[in-house]
Chain A
Amino acid sequence: QSALTQPPSASGSPGQSVTISCTGTSSDVGDYNYVSWYQQYPGKAPKLMIYEVTKRPSGVPDRFSGSKSGNTASLTVSGLQAEDEADYYCSSYAGSDNLVFGEGTKLTVL
């Protein structure tokens, strides 16, 4: 199972919106609505930001939103804030009781 494809980096200025893509195949992202997004600060455990493509756990700001089209899922961060600077990973159910992660994207707030 290959890792999902994410851009290595993304950036935006405070207040702007940025979108991070996560491209898989018709066997994972394209076939199931089980895409999640995680935020990770250096030296910390990942934090779930989005699950089941569009849902936010309690406590996650509504500036974070998820979507999917075909084999590509996306995370949009609106109204960028300095504390949004982190690594972001997507994951998807890949069938046969397997999970696959994306390669990760480093988000920089300029």
Chain B
Amino acid sequence: QVQLVQSGAEVKKPGASVKVSCKASGYTFTDYYMHWVRQAPGQGLEWMGWIKSDSGGTNYAQKFQGRVTMTRDTSISTTYMELSGLRSDDTAMYYCARKLHIGTTWNLHYWGQGTLVAVSS
């Protein structure tokens, strides 16, 4: 069965960077893009971007360009999302997510459990 397991919660100071991992299992890692979505406390879902798991190509939401970097390590079926220049409003739950199956598109069916990133001085 498809599983996405994310790294644990992080507490960071303003201006620092955070790197969240998402380990995939149960499918051929390189067959699917991985998306990242975040949710601030009490707020809605916000799409951050995707990484193409085979080539490493990326596309970031305009809001995060210049601050986010998505990478992957195919040898361990793991995707990473690094966010730099952290501010208090980056405090959120960060999710990785994958689509339902090949032949569908632009949906997010499988989700990681989420990683809470708290930014506080």
For residues 92 through 121 of chain B, which have their beta carbon under 8 Å from a beta carbon of chain A? 95, 100, 104-109, 111-114
| In the complex, number of A-B residue pairs with CB atoms less than 8 Å apart | 69
With both beta carbons as reference points, the residue of chain A lying nearest to B44 in the complex is identified as A104
| 0/1 string, A7-20, CB within 8 A of B gives 1 | 00000000000000
Any A CB within 8 A of the CB of B2 = no
Which one of B7-15, B45-53, B68-76, B82-90 contacts A?
Answer: B45-53
Q: How large is the interface on A (under 10, 10 to 19, 20 to 34, 35 or more residues)?
A: 20 to 34
- Flag if B108 contacts A36 (CB, 8 Å): yes
- Flag if A52 contacts B107 (CB, 8 Å): yes
Instruction: Tally chain B residues at the interface, Cβ within 8 Å.
Output: 22
> Contacts A1-B61, A45-B112, A48-B100 hold; do A99 and B106 have CB atoms under 8 A apart?
yes
Any B CB within 8 A of the CB of A64 = no
Alpha-carbon distance A97/B35, docked complex (angstroms)? 11
Alpha-carbon distance A98/B59, docked complex (angstroms)? 8
For residues 24 through 79 of chain A, which have their beta carbon under 8 Å from a beta carbon of chain B? 32, 34, 36, 38, 40, 45-48, 51-52, 55, 57
- Flag if B105 contacts A46 (CB, 8 Å): no
- Flag if B44 contacts A34 (CB, 8 Å): no
8 pairs, CB–CB < 8 Å, chain A vs chain B:
A1-B62, A34-B106, A46-B111, A48-B109, A89-B45, A93-B105, A100-B47, A101-B37
Interface residues, chain B, with chain A CB atoms under 8 Å away: 35, 37, 44-47, 50, 59, 61-62, 95, 100, 104-109, 111-114
